Structure 1
Amino acid sequence: MIITVTAEPGARQGLLRWNSHEARCALGRSGVAAVKREGDGVTPVGLFPLRRALYRPDRGAPPETALPVAPIGPEDGWCDDPADPAYNRPVALPHPAGHERMWRDDRLYDIVVVLGHNDDPPVPGRGSAIFLHVAREDHGPTEGCVAMAPDDLRRLLADCRPGDAMEIRLPA
């Protein structure tokens, strides 16, 4: 299955479609673009495989999906320092280089799908930690990820299988 994300004008929100479903989604604070750089707030255009799903076990059951699923723990992070050998990879905290904490207080990472963006192999500076995750209640912009309401995310994951991908598109 190919999940499509089409940006709306202004490109901080879009429409995510799969099978016969569609849902509103939040996109990067700097919109959607073909060129992604670390820290620019852009959601990258392209076709990205769904690698695996992660979830906070203290905040809910694992999502029902055929994708690989793993729990997030308090010491889990994701390296976002282009100079570090672990760039755009999961890391254990504390980590000496720049990183993002996966165990968040704001619930945005209660469910996370790792997208195969800049990971095979990672190219320093081309962007890290591009995920599909839970949106803020107002669907406010992300730092470059795609985000959707938790119920929509769980519904999508129930239809996902290994080999599925997300295609992020610019507005027509």
Structure 2
Amino acid sequence: MAKKETPKQTNQAASVKSSGKAGVNNWALIVIGVIIFVVFFPTMVVFCVGMFPTFIAFFIERSKKGMVWISVGCMNLVGVTPYIMDLWLISNTPQQALDTVFSVFPWLVWYSTAGLGWLIYLGTPPVVGIFLTLAAASRASTLKASQRRLVEKWGQEVSGNQEGAGPGGMMRGE
């Protein structure tokens, strides 16, 4: 008679199989990454050096949501893209890539755009907070005006502010 597998044995076998696939997938990604780096060497040099502020933002981020590096990365990519386009359109050589990397102006653009990403990340919450506060104040004034119209139309009983009224405007003892 065949021996039945327990759920514990099945889970162990599944974890061994999945970790084997994950290892193969990781190696495949590494091999593909190396091939891309070799084939597109000048582009990757400019890209990796130019996106350095994004890599730093990714590694220093402590929150689990991961919004700093996305904000910095998007703006940093905006700064790196013109230099990659120049590389592609003028001459895609390692010498041109090194000339770009060793020039001061690209570094100024890369770090300025990354700094703009930081400003967007740090400046957005206060701006949204101000907007929400103004929207809430506007809504409160609209509701107060509506309440005044109801009191004018229906009388003081609907306001809930009469003497002896409990929560919700109900008379005590009702």
TM-score class, shorter-chain normalisation, is: under 0.3
Decide which structure has greater strand share.
1
Work out which of the two has the higher radius of gyration on C-alpha atoms and give 1 or 2.
Answer: 2
TM-score by length of 2: 0.23
User: So what's the TM-score if we normalise by structure 1?
Assistant: 0.23
